[in-house]
A and B are shown apart, each in its own frame.
Chain A
């Protein structure tokens, strides 16, 4: 992989259980707060045993049936555009793409509607209608009246990182001048039950990389970045907040559901992202790890990061956000850029005791970091791996 032109980041937006807005999320992460509770509104017994990270309060709607995932995406996109100093008027006439990752956003999870149909009743149409009109990228593109390319990346837990990598390619190759890129996912009952049945969910707040880790907690949220070509960035009202320097994506080619124990796909994804960025391990201020808190994920990641980024401080934020699936890579890209700007990483909530079998682990306390770029990694079901190298913005 050869070195690529950096893509500018003009604005960031984030919403998750840690907070509404990037600033609120960072306050919560740096204070090691954990908004992890038994989920509200779910039927069944699991909801009395398995906690999750849910976003409080209502989400923006338009008076029509729409999914919660779209509401989260709208909230993060509005913040990212405002952060960039852009509004609908500023976008008019420009080639603006939308690339959002989602694991739940496009899925046919209309359970009540389906239950009614299969028993021969005429169920209320709301759930089905919400699905038909809530595809995250398409709906956001329609909301804003955009005419550029539009893609919902459904790559499970790497979706958000992949969507940013894809959108950066679009911008670099001149497909569009600007792109809204990121990911969004709601905490959906069917996903919640599915992960518990896969026996990868912890019945207490998760402990990424800890010796006693037992699994993940699901969360919900959205992260959106406004990307721009160098030329478009020069004509924008606000400063450049960061850069997408490199992206790598590779498959394990090992097993449909289990990660390759040797981390071969992650190794290639990280190597490719660093090569694209023209960066070496010594250039990294820190690494934001996927760090789900499952036994297998953290073991593979620790091994590969110890090998490819030795000495780089490790940060794991899912202890403060939960695993937000398709949003995770995008939220963590936002956190990574914000931490580069602050020159510090938050404590990795949930981590207390190093696992002697893991060669790398994060910090339990906040920590100052130095450097102009950082790595963010994502791993997914199906043996997918994605890595982003993110660079600081102006004035850092």
Chain B
């Protein structure tokens, strides 16, 4: 499972850059992202038809694409038939789902909103993203509470390896709701453990084959469910048991933030959780069952003298 990460984009209550994600403070998961930066990037009419979840994911995806361009990728590398998109989420477009429920409960069957219904279908955000980004390769939405990011990455890596796409934009997005807080809180009160948290955040990683052009942030050398075999690097990011770094907290999609931060740090970005410009970072998710995961990321070109190594 080898691939390179050639672009990064984030959006959330912490801000809109990797530096802001790296410096995020606890509690920012609950804050809404500033979506004002979509103006000028997306036609107003198209923007008006999008729900908040889709806008947030689109902002992160656009930043990822711009970042990839700044790192040497051409337009043709990030648009068209050879580009695929995988969007991972724990909850999907939650607010449009509740909008649709409201319309059924308030107005009965004859007043149920067809627009809210269509926007609540879980693949709609990815479909709208693909349309907005000019991506017409394979498009896949992954929706599950158990580390949706791992399976999205596995699928993306396979698609790259077998030549189904030259670039895969892998995104992760979740939005929060007091209703979900209430429901998860009641399950916890009933003694259930290992339940995820919430966030208002999105992250996108642009993936290419390891031999692709451009200046990648990092290469992923290992990606697996559960622990990776053999010795890992000395720099490790661990999440699980309802704990996670600020920005995405313990949301189902939070592993995407860990991976993005690892790439950022490998490229020399300042990150308290990964000090000293590491050469290799292992991101682990220790949640039980299908949520367990390990990714080993390495700086492109290998270790350099004086760097931290495996």
Spell out A's residues near B (CB within 8 Å): 1-2, 4, 44-46, 98-99, 103, 106-111, 113-115, 117-118, 122, 125, 128-129, 132, 135, 137-138, 141-142, 146-156, 159, 162, 166, 169-170, 172-173, 175, 190, 193-194, 196-199, 249-257, 265, 268, 380-384
CB of A194 within 8 A of CB of B112, answer yes
The chain A residue with its CB closest to the CB of B126 is A382
A169 touches B225 (CB 8 A): no
Q: In the complex the two chains form, is A193's CB within 8 Å of B142's CB?
A: no
Q: With A169-B158, A250-B138, A382-B124 in contact, is A148–B104 under 8 Å at CB?
A: no
Could you tell me if B105 and A132 are in contact, using CB atoms closer than 8 angstroms?
Answer: no
Which residue of B121, B131, B162 contacts A173 across the interface (Cβ within 8 Å)?
A: B162
B151/A382 in contact, CB under 8 A: no
Q: Are B117 and A381 in contact (CB under 8 A)?
A: no
Chain B interface, DSSP helix/strand/loop, else mixed = helix
Chain B 106-144, CB-CB to A under 8 Å as 1, else 0, gives 001100111001101111101110110011111111111
- Beta-carbon nearest neighbor of B150 in chain A: A149
Closest to A142 in B: B289
* Known contacts A137-B290, A154-B141, A384-B123; A1/B164 CB under 8 A: yes
Question: Which residue of A is nearest B142, CB measured?
Answer: A151
Known contacts A146-B290, A170-B158; 19 further A-B pairs (Cβ under 8 A): A103-B121, A106-B122, A125-B187, A147-B225, A151-B144, A154-B123, A156-B121, A156-B123, A172-B158, A193-B112, A193-B117, A194-B100, A194-B114, A197-B112, A251-B131, A251-B136, A253-B131, A253-B135, A256-B128
Select B127's contact among A146, A249, A256, beta carbons within 8 Å. Answer: A256
- Answer whether A107 and B97 are a contact pair too, CB < 8 Å, given A156-B123, A384-B127: yes
Q: B92: which A residues are within 8 A, CB to CB?
A: 106-108, 154
CA separation between A99 and B158, bound complex, in Å? Answer: 14
- Pairwise interchain contact A117-B155, C-beta atoms closer than 8 A: no
Looking at B94, B124, B127, B162, which has the most chain A CB atoms within 10 Å of its CB?
B127
B35 in contact (CB, < 8 A): no
Q: CB within 8 Å of A: which residues of B?
A: 1, 49, 81, 91-92, 94, 97-98, 100-102, 104-105, 108-109, 112-114, 117-118, 120-124, 126-128, 130-131, 134-146, 148, 150-152, 154-155, 157-159, 161-164, 179-180, 182-184, 186-187, 190, 192, 195, 225-226, 289-290, 292
Q: How far is the CA of A113 from the CA of B180 in the complex (A)?
A: 11
B153 to chain A, nearest CB (A): 10
Q: Contacts of B195 on A, CB cut-off 8 Å?
A: 132
> Quick check: A128 and B226 within 8 Å, CB to CB?
no
| Beta-carbon contact of B140 and A162 below 8 Å | yes
Across chains A and B, which 10 residue pairs bring their CB atoms closest together, nearest first? A382-B127, A194-B117, A151-B151, A249-B138, A154-B122, A150-B290, A169-B158, A106-B143, A154-B143, A253-B136
Cα A197 to Cα B112 in complex, Å, equals: 7
Q: Is the CB of B81 within 8 A of A268?
A: yes
Query: Which listed residue, A106, A115, A249, touches B144 by the CB 8 Å rule?
Result: A106
B105 & A115 in contact (Cβ 8 Å cutoff): yes
Residues of B within 8 A of A257 (CB): 118
Docked-complex contact B225 and A149, CB < 8 angstroms: yes
The docked-state distance in angstroms from the alpha carbon of A197 to that of B109 is 8
Do A137 and B144 form a contact, CB below 8 Å, given A125-B187, A147-B226?
A: yes
A384 to B163, CA, bound (A): 19
How far in angstroms is the closest Cβ of chain A from B83?
10
Q: Is the CB of A114 within 8 A of B100?
A: no
Partner of A4, one of B1, B113, B143, B162: B162
Q: How many Å from the CB of A387 to the closest CB on chain B?
A: 11
Nearest CB on B from A27, distance (A): 33
Min C-beta distance of A136 to chain B, whole Å: 9
CA distance A117 to B179 in the complex (A): 7
**Docked pose: A109 CA to B182 CA in angstroms:** 16
CA distance A273 to B64 in the complex (A): 30
Q: Distance in Å from the Cβ of A114 to the closest Cβ of chain B?
A: 5
With A138-B289, A173-B158, A197-B112: A150-B117 Cβ-Cβ less than 8 Å: no
Residues from chain A with a CB closer than 8 A to the CB of B128 are 256, 382
CB nearest to B91 among chain A residues: A108
Q: Are A169 and B164 in contact (CB under 8 A)?
A: yes
CA distance A199 to B102 in the complex (A): 20
Known A106-B92, A125-B187, A197-B112; contact A250-B123, beta-carbon cutoff 8 A: no
Report yes or no: A150 in contact with B122, Cβ–Cβ below 8 A: no
Give the docked Cα–Cα distance between A125 and B289 (Å).
Answer: 23
Q: Which residues of A contact B121 (CB under 8 A)?
A: 103, 156, 381-382
Partner of A251 from B109, B114, B130, B184 at Cβ < 8 Å: B130
Q: Known: A138-B144, A197-B117, A250-B137. Contact between A111 and B159, CB under 8 A?
A: no
Q: How far is the CB of A244 from chain B (nearest CB, A)?
A: 13
